[in-house]
Amino acid sequence: MNSSSANWLIRNINIVLEDRVVTGSVIVLNGRIERIISHESMDKAELAESLESIDGQGGWLLPGFIDIHVHGGFSADFMDADRESYDTITRFHASQGTTGMLATTMTASKEAIEAVLQAAAEYRSTEMPFAALYGVHLEGPFISEKWPGAQNPAHIKNPQLDWLKKWHSEWPDLIRLLTLAPEKPGAIEMISWLAEQGIITACGHTDAVYTEIEAAADAGLSHAVHTYNAMRGLHHREPGTLGAVLTDDRIYAELIADGEHVHTAAIRLLLAAKPADKVILITDAISAAGMPDGDYALGGLTVVVKQGVARLREGNALAGSSLTMIRAFRFMLDHTSLSLPEVSRMASGNAAKQLGISDRTGSITVGKQADLVWTDAQFNVRRTWVQGRSVYENTVK
């Protein structure tokens, strides 16, 4: 099939829909899902002979993954703020089944953050050849000094609403998500303003007590980054940030499902506490993703990767991950009792709903963009399509 073609069909495939799995075929026309034909009802005459046909070989067809918290991959970082790095990151993660993402920043200087905003805006203004950038996730710099994690403490600031107003004016609709510590001075005012602009606010790297998170949610906060990590934990007399995230159904909870950031028992607790449509799988991947063990830079700090686990050289804190979305997907299948459609929603559909783009992507539904991933029976990525265009193909049979 011509990689630029947006008209094709895939047959002999297990299609993961929002609520079930069907075996059959999918027809894509003009980059959109035209028909879903189950094996039981399939009339071979219905399969347009003029379309190029792919044999799915009994594998799986999944909605493309949406990663709303990713810093980089394959040696590149979004903080590099140049097109070559953005091509490298989006190409690599497309090879792992991701069809859309948010370019996630680090806690950095105002100038460095503005460079990312400019680079991301320019990248989005032209054809994006691999996974699509849906916008930017600002992780900091308005976070807690008590919970920096792998963020650079030198650049932590109290909320600066004037910065956000300037950025939103100069790059409208680019900032989609902002992570802050809601207990910081000026945070509630910033959350209210962000909510008015339709920008998602997340708690993260925060020492907030339960009532502070609830006040933030009342103001419009609706998200928690890398749940359990870099936040005040649960205590039975002071439920803390974590207690609010687990019990407040207004808040989406991100999860790094790699077996390092969150124990499987804690994952089960999260799944028991949160509605199924409020858990979002993310990678929090850094430039080390897809690369060998060694030393890497993250936000001006040195990260050491050993056996795939990234930690700061100074202090040994976990520093993002080398995770990919397909590995997170497999981890959830292997370590929870969730069904395939349930895990798929956490990897695709829930993020699409939080971003307000579920009308066009995030599930295999007639009329939506053909943002799709074909895997073999063991969930190894064979091919990835964005709006029907093939952006990655594994030619190994």
Residue 66 near residue 282 (C-beta atoms within 8 A) = no
Is 124 known as a binding-site position? no
DSSP per-residue letters across 170-232: HSTTTEEEEEE-TTSTTHHHHHHHHHHHT-EEEE-SB---HHHHHHHHHHT--EESSTTTTB-
Residue type, 205: H
DSSP per-residue letters across 76-117: EEGGG-SHHHHHHHHHHHHTTTEEEEEEE--S--HHHHHHHH
Region at 286 (left for phi over 0; alpha for psi -120 to 50; beta for the rest): beta
Is 7 known as a binding-site position? no
The CA-based diameter of the chain, rounded to the nearest angstrom, is: 66
Cα–Cα distances in angstroms (integers) from residue 224 to residues 213, 282, 284, 373, 397, in the given order = 10, 12, 13, 27, 40
Is 313 known as a binding-site position? no
**Helical axes 110-125 vs 161-170, angle rounded to 10°:** 20
Is 69 known as a binding-site position? no
End-to-end CA distance of the chain: 16
- Secondary structure, 3-state, 132-165: EEEEEEEECCCCCCCCCCCCCHHHCCCCCHHHHH
Q: Where is 309: in which H helix or E strand? A: strand 309-312
The first and second tokens of residue 305, run together, are 């990767």
Is 208 known as a binding-site position? no
Is 362 known as a binding-site position? no
Report the alpha-carbon distance of residue 325 to residue 90 in Å, rounded. Answer: 13
Is 64 known as a binding-site position? no
Active site residues per annotation: 284
Is 318 known as a binding-site position? yes
Is 335 known as a binding-site position? no
Is 39 known as a binding-site position? no
For 375, phi then psi, to 5°, come to: -120, 165
Contacts of 271 (CB under 8 A, 6+ apart): 279, 336, 338
Is 226 known as a binding-site position? yes
- Could you tell me which residues are annotated as the binding site for Zn(2+)? 139, 205, 226
- Could you tell me which residues are annotated as the binding site? 139, 150, 205, 226, 229-230, 237, 261, 318-320
- Could you tell me which residues are annotated as the binding site for substrate? 150, 229-230, 237, 261, 318-320
